[in-house]
Structure 1
Amino acid sequence: MGLGACRRGIAVIFASVLLQGALPSALLGASGPALEPDALMARVQAQYDRTTHLHARFRQETRLQGFDQVQTGEGEVWILKPGMMRWHYTKPERQIIIANGETLWIYLPDERQAIRDRVQTSMGTRTPALFLAGQARLTEVFSVAGAASQVPGEGGPLRLELTPKEGTLPYSQVELGIHPTSYQVVRVKLVDPLGSVTTMWFTDIDTQAAVDPSLFQFQVPSGVDVIAPPVFPVPR
């Protein structure tokens, strides 16, 4: 799978789970005893149901199975329900991924190219993109794989391991890192069937400031070529 296809799939999945842990603790009540895994998963879903938008900074690291090379990236993400997201990679190279619920754009400024696709075609009909559109629930696709535990280190996030209920998703395991008092999702780890691992850390998560809907519109700049997306098998 090419880097662009990998990033657009990862972007949708991360956007889905990030929205599900984005509410401040004031809406959740004071922290209490550690939650059981199913209760913690339900709390995360409840947060998603109430969250309408967010902005955050991210750092991404991908370790490919069988290769020593580690791919890294960082940038900003904006999400507006239903179904709109904008990922702006600033490192290692500039790349902008925009989805407005129907159309997906991948803009490569340095290469003066833009890829246009339909969200449903690119992501399939059974991917976490459905969460962004409010058409599915986390518990419908994932089940809890193990007990919730705290990531080693004082004050570290709670670790919640999930597995797909059906073999239709491109990842065999999803691990959420959840802040122990605010219940924000601050880390997401994805493991694919081949053993490659992608981890993304989120900081400066803001669910209060308004998100401008124009961020999810894309006008092809002059001199930029619009090309067809590469074709990869997509689970249906």
Structure 2
Amino acid sequence: MKKVLFAIGLIASCAGFAWAGGLESLELFVSTVKTGRAEFTQVVSAPPKDGQSPRVKTSSGTFEFSRPNRFKFIYIKPFAQSIVADGQTLWLFDVDLNQATARKQTQVLGSTPAALIAAAPDLKALQADFTLANAPNKDGLQWVAATPKSKDGQLDTVRVGFKTTGKTAELAALEILDSFGQRSLLTFSKVEVNPSLAPESFQFKPPAGTDVIRQ
């Protein structure tokens, strides 16, 4: 999610033409993909300390969304956790701790990766919270870089990769870099575009005995 430096001359012109699809893919994705379902793998890399190798953690699960403002990440491995947004409340549930945290979505979703891929109703809404720019094509995907306009959070930059076919842009990857140098890469597979998802599938009810914290 660093700013891209262009080469000079003909190579730059050709590259610039190739990169033009990033923002177009994002706009196509937001405007035409109203619901989605996929499996994901997340790899989090922390910066090395004291000459040691970078620390890497891998997790996996499922992801669903219904635009605007409804989504859920269900982490299955290595630990069971859920992040569920029902349109009003964002729930974080840790199965092992038997603890659920509830926050108002309006207070937490604005300049977040979730807004980019699931919550925002249109491109204009994203541009209110992010500075958007084309990024180089990589790994067969078209990328867009998003930098939060608010400097209050810990998020540095987000890159979103799309696989575009015809009139459909399919979410393929999400790369997040925070202000501490930690990098998180989510890759999506078995993607379903515009499946039928019932609104109640995004409701979260804490299991009996759960410690509920409201913020």
TM-score (normalizing by structure 1) = 0.69
Are 2:49 and 1:62 equivalent residues in the alignment?
A: no
Structure 1 partner of 2:121: 134
Letter of the structure 1 residue corresponding to residue 67 of structure 2: K
Pick closer, same or farther for the CA change 1:45–1:129 going to 2, 3 Å.
Answer: same
Deviations 1:21-60 (A, max 9, x none): xxxxxxxxxxxxx954344303321221122111110000
Are 2:202 and 1:213 equivalent residues in the alignment?
A: no
**1:174, distance to aligned residue in structure 2 (A):** 2.1
Structure 1 partner of 2:76: 90
**1:143, distance to aligned residue in structure 2 (A):** 2.7
Deviations 1:141-172 (A, max 9, x none): 223264x3233xxxx32344443455355332
Aligned-partner SS, 1:44: helix
**1:219, distance to aligned residue in structure 2 (A):** 1.8
Pick closer, same or farther for the CA change 1:173–1:92 going to 2, 3 Å.
Answer: same
Structure 1 partner of 2:19: 37
Aligned-partner SS, 1:184: strand
**1:93, distance to aligned residue in structure 2 (A):** 0.5
Q: Structure 1: how far apart are the matches of 2:109 and 2:143? A: 28
Contact 2:46-2:55 at 8 Å conserved across structures: yes
**1:74, distance to aligned residue in structure 2 (A):** 0.6
Contact 1:38-1:144 at 8 Å conserved across structures: no
Pick closer, same or farther for the CA change 1:166–1:37 going to 2, 3 Å.
Answer: farther
Letter of the structure 2 residue corresponding to residue 102 of structure 1: Q
Structure 1 partner of 2:138: 150
Pick closer, same or farther for the CA change 1:94–1:173 going to 2, 3 Å.
Answer: same
> Following superposition of structure 1 onto structure 2, how do residues 44-55 of structure 1 map, counting pairs within 5 Å?
44-55=26-37
Letter of the structure 2 residue corresponding to residue 197 of structure 1: R
Contact 2:44-2:58 at 8 Å conserved across structures: yes
Aligned-partner SS, 2:197: coil
**1:62, distance to aligned residue in structure 2 (A):** 0.7
Contact 2:22-2:142 at 8 Å conserved across structures: no
**1:125, distance to aligned residue in structure 2 (A):** 4.5
**1:127, distance to aligned residue in structure 2 (A):** 4.3
**1:197, distance to aligned residue in structure 2 (A):** 0.6
2:172 pairs, out of 150, 163, 186, with 186
- Mark the runs of 5 or more structure 1 residues left unpaired by the alignment: 1-33, 230-236
Higher strand share: 2
Structure 1 partner of 2:10: none
Of residues 190-199 and 177-186 in structure 1, the stretch that sits farther from structure 2 once superposed is 177-186
| Identity fraction in percent | 23
**1:133, distance to aligned residue in structure 2 (A):** 4.4
- Mark the runs of 5 or more structure 2 residues left unpaired by the alignment: 1-15
Contact 1:177-1:185 at 8 Å conserved across structures: yes
Letter of the structure 2 residue corresponding to residue 71 of structure 1: K
Q: Structure 2: how far apart are the matches of 1:46 and 1:124? A: 21
Contact 1:84-1:99 at 8 Å conserved across structures: yes
Aligned-partner SS, 1:76: strand
Aligned-partner SS, 1:218: coil
Structure 2 partner of 1:20: none
RMSD: 2.8
